[in-house]
Amino acid sequence: MTSVGDLDTAGPAASTAPGEMVRVPGGTFLQGSPDRTLDWLESEGQAFPRDWFTDETPQLPVTLPDYLIDRYPVTVAQFAAFVARTGYVTSAERSGGSMVYSDYWEIREGACWHRPAGYGSGVRNRDDHPVVHISHLDAEAYARWAGRRLPTESEWERAATGPSYRLWPWGDTWDPGNANTAEWTGGTFRGLAEWREWWSAIHAAQGPVPQTTPVGAFSPRGDSVDGCADMTGNVYEWTSTLAHLYAPETRCDPTIHLVMGRSRVIRGGSWMNFRYQVRCAERLYGDPTGWSNFALGFRCAGDAPAAGVEHNGR
């Protein structure tokens, strides 16, 4: 791949907005991946076939007005303040557990935002980590309380990729030091077997503790053109968008077709993933009925104040 996107990182940062939000300027950008990205994915020897990624195609122009989006994912401290003020009980707390990964995904009793690895775990010294075990319902509840909303999928992707297409927020050249992914924690993997070895060692030592990092830990080197941090890795992030194909004629893995119109789009990949699953245009789909896991969080968005009335400072 060429590195055309790298040049944009030297551009001016977007203007700041209240409460650690970034104002993304309106305009038209290309959402989704071009065919050349799917060609590259096939050539990389990664684990998945081409039709695993065709849901990112075709690449289409999308026009957005100015909008606000959180610079960082919502943190444990922010979510704790929401719970303290409202008494909110998350989906995981109501159901008695949430999903963690041991040797496979499993529901861990007691796992929730303040017990991320289940009973006996906690969030001490993790105030500035992104909150996890957040269902779509939880994320929407927080956003409403905060006077914000979840970003649409288009808003999320534009904030990650900038005004022109790029594989990762900083450009088209992978750098494992720019984001919290499995490749930062464990080095370059040659396949899922090596990933399993990496995770098994962590799990044996710590249990199913999320390997999140403080928000902004990779700033500014991993930031997007507009100054958003952690758009690649750290935690998966909910959007408000109902799963849909970009074009009705698109054909992808049959199971992906089945969740269209049912699941909500999730973006950004997480600390668990390789470089391929944390690209700006990568799409995942989450069950919105109360499911969550130990790598799943969110950030908020909002409509931009009209020009001239914005209080432009942090």
Partner 1 sequence: MVTVLLSAGWAHRGQKTFACHEGTVRDVIKEFVESYPLYRRRLLDDDGEPLTYYNVYLDGDLVETADRSRVTARSDSTVAIIPPLAGG
Residues forming contacts to partner 1 in the complex (CB under 8 A) are 48-49, 51-52, 55, 99, 103-107, 236, 253-256, 258-259, 262-263, 266, 269, 273, 277, 282-287, 291, 293, 296
Residue 114 near residue 122 (C-beta atoms within 8 A): yes
For partner 1, which is the closer residue by CB, 136 or 148? Answer: 136
Strands 296-297 and 236-242 come out as parallel
For partner 1, which is the closer residue by CB, 78 or 135? Answer: 135
Least Å from the CB of residue 15 to partner 1: 33
Tokens of 227: 């100054």
Least Å from the CB of residue 63 to partner 1: 25
For partner 1, which is the closer residue by CB, 107 or 137? Answer: 107
For partner 1, which is the closer residue by CB, 29 or 236? Answer: 236
Least Å from the CB of residue 195 to partner 1: 13
Least Å from the CB of residue 255 to partner 1: 4
Of how many residues is the chain composed? 314
For partner 1, which is the closer residue by CB, 103 or 249? Answer: 103
Return all residues near 77 (Cβ < 8 A) that are at least 6 apart.
Answer: 127, 128
Least Å from the CB of residue 54 to partner 1: 11
Angle at 301 between CA 297 and CA 303, to 5 degrees: 170
Amino acid at 234: N
- Alpha carbon dihedral 39, 45, 47, 48, in 10-degree steps, equals 20
What three-state secondary structure class fits 112?
strand
Least Å from the CB of residue 264 to partner 1: 11
Nearest to 228 by CA among 271, 168, 173: 168
Residue with tokens 């990624």: 53
For partner 1, which is the closer residue by CB, 218 or 285? Answer: 285
Residue 5 near residue 165 (C-beta atoms within 8 A): yes
